[in-house]
Amino acid sequence: MRELSLHILDIIENSRRAEADLIKIKIEEKKDSNLLRIVIEDNGNGIAPEKIEKITDPFITSRTTRNVGLGLSLFKSAAESCAGDFNIESEINEGTLVIAEFKYDHIDRAPLGDITTTISNFIAASGDQVDLVYQHCYNENSFKFDSREIKAELEDLSIQSRQIIAWIREYIGENLAEIRGGEAF
Amino acid sequence: MTVKELVDQFDLEVIAGPDLQKEIDGAYIGDLLSNVMARAEKGNLWLTVQGHQNVVAVALLVELSAVILVEDFDYEENAIQKACQKGVNLLKTGKKSYDLACSFYESNI
């Protein structure tokens, strides 16, 4: 995938299909230590131990529509092809944790991409069922978005309604620009 | 044209050839697997520099006629094993994608 945000979307769609109702995404950009780390944690159905060992094997998939599953395999290769690391841990009925690390300045590292759209589109489609916590760190700065906090303020309005999604987009966009000190992706 | 005929005509090396009678229909060039998944079409040859097992998965998914690894890169061992099991043809060449594609074009592939 051309952007890491598309990998993130792919993973959180897995979480949603695994019936998670809370997904936590943490993105850390540590330029001083030349590291980009993406951590995604959910409280979904989890993956059995005998499956987790082979989960990044593209010929293993939980889908029934085809016999090849590439989402995690591609994310793993994306990390490993730029001197990074990939790890997945899971427990049945507890949830799944995916950690991908990239060498920040590696020439083959895909750009992070449009994470604002990834998050806001996901909430627009599934926000009523699934809560999302998104934390982004850029060197020493960070900000956190928590859909549960938004919902607490909303009373009768759905978090998936258009004006709320527009507000979320703006909120994330502004905060990202602020912690990055105006630096482009 | 079948994969077997292609191999003979363009002097390609067969690394895994479980189904060389497959018919070829066009070609696609790319190294970003997700993009190949989205854009390559059934029956295409796929010219790439990637030689790991995800390549075999993509070839299987899109029902490509063969993968051609260019510039003398090598396939990983588990990719070759999977290709034999799953019926995916793996070829290789020392040429660059562009040069190979040009010769394919001249032969109306």
Residue environment code for B81-91, b if the CB has 16+ CB neighbours within 10 A, otherwise e: ebbbebebbbb
Model pLDDT, residue A54: 86
Alpha carbon B21 to its chain's center: 14
Q: Do A74 and B34 touch (CB under 8 A)?
A: yes
Measure in Å the smallest separation between the Cα of B9 and chain A Cα atoms. 32
Give the residue on A whose Cα is nearest the Cα of B32: A1
pLDDT digits (tens, 9 = 90+) for B76-98: 999 999 999 999 999 999 999 99
> Nearest C-alpha of chain A: how many angstroms from B43?
18
Least Cα distance to B23 among B55, B58, B64 occurs for B64
| Interval A93-128: pLDDT, tens | 999 999 999 999 999 999 999 999 999 999 999 999
Assess whether pLDDT exceeds 60 at residue A185: no
Please indicate whether, in this complex, the C-beta atoms of B34 and A58 are within 8 angstroms of each other. no
Residue range(s) defining the domain that contains residue A105: 4-179
Residue A182 has pLDDT above 80, yes or no: no
The model's confidence at residue A155, banded by pLDDT at 50, 70 and 90, is confident
**CATH code of the domain in which A134 resides:** 3.30.565.10
ipTM, 2 decimals? 0.73
**Counted domains in chain A:** 1
CB within 8 Å: B32 and A68: no
What was the pLDDT predicted at A64?
A: 62
A26-85, pLDDT tens digit by residue?
999 999 999 999 999 999 999 999 888 888 888 877 666 665 678 899 999 999 999 999
Name all domains of chain B by residue range, CATH numbers in brackets: 3-106 (3.40.1390.20)
Backbone angles phi, psi at B27, to 5 degrees: -150, 155
* Helix-helix angle A4-17:A115-126, to 10 degrees: 20
Read off the pLDDT of residues B39-60 as tens digits, 9 standing for 90 and up: 999 999 999 999 999 999 999 9
- Alpha-carbon gap: B77 to the closest alpha carbon of chain A (Å): 14
Residues of chain A in Cβ contact (below 8 Å) with chain B: 1-2, 6, 57-59, 66-68, 70, 73-74, 77
Determine the distance from the C-alpha atom of residue A40 to the mean position of all C-alpha atoms in its chain, rounded to a whole number. 5
Contact B53 A58 (CB under 8 A): yes
The pLDDT value given to residue A59: 85
Answer yes or no: is pLDDT of B18 > 60.
Answer: yes
Q: What is the pLDDT, as a whole number, of residue A4? A: 96
**Residue pairs spanning A and B at CB distance below 8 A:** 36
